[in-house]
Amino acid sequence: MSSLPAAVNPPLRTLMGPGPSDVHPRVWAATAAPTVGHLDPYFLRVMDEMQTMLRQVFRTENPLTFAVSGTGSAGMEACVVNLVEPGDRMLVCQNGVFGGRMADVAGRAGAEVTVLERPFGEVFTADEIKAALDGKPVKAVGIVHAETSTGAMQPLEEISKVVHEAGALLLVDCVTSLAGAPVEIDAWDVDAAYSGTQKCLSCPPGLAPVTFSPRAEEVIANRKSKVASWYLDTTMIRNYWGSERAYHHTAPINANYGLHEALRLVLEEGLEARWARHRANHVALREGLAALGIEYAVAEAHRLPMLNAVRIPAGVDDATVRKRLLTEFGIEIGAGLGPMKGVTWRIGLMGAASTRRNVLLFLAALEACLSEQGVGVTPGTGVAAANAAYA
């Protein structure tokens, strides 16, 4: 008889990549609470409280707001397949990997997809989208608010206006931005949005908060065909999350406990204070990196505060630095994706990982890695610049 594998005993990491992010101890404790049934009165109360808190974090009054049982990609698919039917026209804005994924999902749902492209790291203007919509009956426009693959933040207010003037629905990817930067679903008139738990909510991956406007609900109610995915069909899921409590699927009970506590932490801190914390740590990191001669890959006006995409200095080996950061210092950062692979690093400051400690720890570790690669760095330069920014 073969021996059993060793018990799971993962190393301690400081998660400063594109996700998952560090999980708050209170969230871990919540996930370890006793499991109850998915229709137990206690769990139903937890669901009600989660919906209330999700509406606060999304800044919306939308009744149809809940957590999809699945990762952020399941949230994306839920939004697309509920709004789009075979033959519908959808415009998807692609300036990174995740816009491309949205287009792929829409095509699989039978939509006639038009892809509007910008180079990785750039953002779209309202005029570009207006021109793409001009004279064309489009049911929905999909766009990424915070493109994790590039570190670019997409302004949405003016785009929302031109989308609705064209009679289309606005679908937004908020996976990386929710709880780390302003997300204003009602103020921006967003029709459907999805996120994930493992970014700025600092919860283990496994759930995807989503929200649908009354306009989107009406579109779903008047579909001519069934939603392509049984599991993600909101016409049934809403009966589980709503007053009927009709059984649909067995929800991941303990994952929901974790999200409940994560949302409590967000609201305890306050959204504005949380946004300010992410911004302050981003600025300190920016100043520290600048002192080391490292530049950002995105124009300053459109940089994400929680996901910093920076250019790898000339002559520095990407994989060697990331490996040393992980094995010697216990710090995970992300490699570039698509055309940015081997060109950029993605440094996350998300949720519980967005701290002064992590900024200074990372800069000190990076200085050591760069010195080993032959980059002339005066010890303490990056840390001193970051501390000056905090001061």
pLDDT tens digits for 197-214? 999 999 999 999 999 999
Query: How far, rounded to the nearest angstrom, does the alpha carbon of residue 43 sit from its chain's CA centroid?
Result: 26
Model's pTM, two decimal places?
0.96
Output the pLDDT for position 373: 85
Output the pLDDT for position 329: 97
Nearest to 107 by CA among 84, 129, 124: 84
pLDDT digit string, tens, across residues 345-374 = 999 999 999 999 999 999 999 999 999 888
Mean of pLDDT over the chain: 96
Q: At 94, give phi and psi (nearest 5°).
A: -120, 115
Which amino acid does the sequence have at 300? E
8 A C-beta contact, residue 97 and residue 149? yes
Nearest to 80 by CA among 177, 169, 19: 169
Tokens standing for residue 311: 């250019």
Nearest to 124 by CA among 88, 150, 89: 150
Output the pLDDT for position 353: 98
Give the mean model confidence (pLDDT) for residues 278-288: 98
SS3 state at 275: helix
Output the pLDDT for position 77: 97
Q: How far apart are CA 332 and CA 323, in angstroms?
A: 9
pLDDT digit string, tens, across residues 11-35 = 999 999 999 999 999 999 999 999 9
CA 57 to each of CA 65, 106, 211, 263, 318: distance values in angstroms, whole numbers, following the listed order: 11, 27, 11, 8, 36
User: What are the residues whose beta carbons fall under 8 Å from the beta carbon of 18, sequence distance 6 or more?
Assistant: 148, 149, 176, 307, 334, 346, 348
SS3 state at 347: strand
Q: How far apart are CA 327 and CA 348, in angstroms?
A: 18
Residue 242's pLDDT band, with cuts at 50, 70 and 90, is confident
Q: How far apart are CA 114 and CA 12, in angstroms?
A: 44
Torsion of CA 253, 257, 260, 261, to 10 degrees: -170
Answer yes or no: is pLDDT of 376 > 80: no
pLDDT digit string, tens, across residues 59-76 = 999 999 999 999 999 999
Strand 89-94, strand 140-144: pairing: parallel
Give the mean model confidence (pLDDT) for residues 379-391: 96
Residue with token string 């400690």: 357
User: What are the residues whose beta carbons fall under 8 Å from the beta carbon of 177, sequence distance 6 or more?
Assistant: 145, 146, 153, 183, 195, 200, 304, 306
Q: How far apart are CA 206 and CA 259, in angstroms?
A: 10
Q: How far apart are CA 114 and CA 102, in angstroms?
A: 11
Give the mean model confidence (pLDDT) for residues 254-279: 98
User: What's the burial of 343, exposed, middle or buried (CB within 10 Å: 0-12/13-18/19+)?
Assistant: middle
SS3 state at 344: strand
Output the pLDDT for position 172: 98
Answer yes or no: is pLDDT of 375 > 90: no
Residues paired with 153 in a beta bridge: 146
Answer yes or no: is pLDDT of 243 > 90: no
Residue 139's pLDDT band, with cuts at 50, 70 and 90, is very high
Output the pLDDT for position 1: 60
Secondary-structure percent of the chain, ordered helix, strand, coil, rounded to 5: 45, 15, 40
Beta-carbon count within 10 A of 27 CB:
26
The domains of the chain, with CATH numbers, are 25-268 (3.40.640.10), 271-390 (3.90.1150.10)
Residues paired with 307 in a beta bridge: 348
Answer yes or no: is pLDDT of 184 > 90: yes
Helix pair 356-372, 381-390: axis angle to 10 deg: 160
Give the mean model confidence (pLDDT) for residues 227-242: 94
Give the mean model confidence (pLDDT) for residues 87-109: 96
Output the pLDDT for position 250: 93
Residues paired with 116 in a beta bridge: 93
Of the listed ranges 110-124, 241-255, 310-324, 337-351, the least confidently predicted one is 241-255
Instruction: State what percent of residues in the chain have pLDDT above 90.
Output: 94
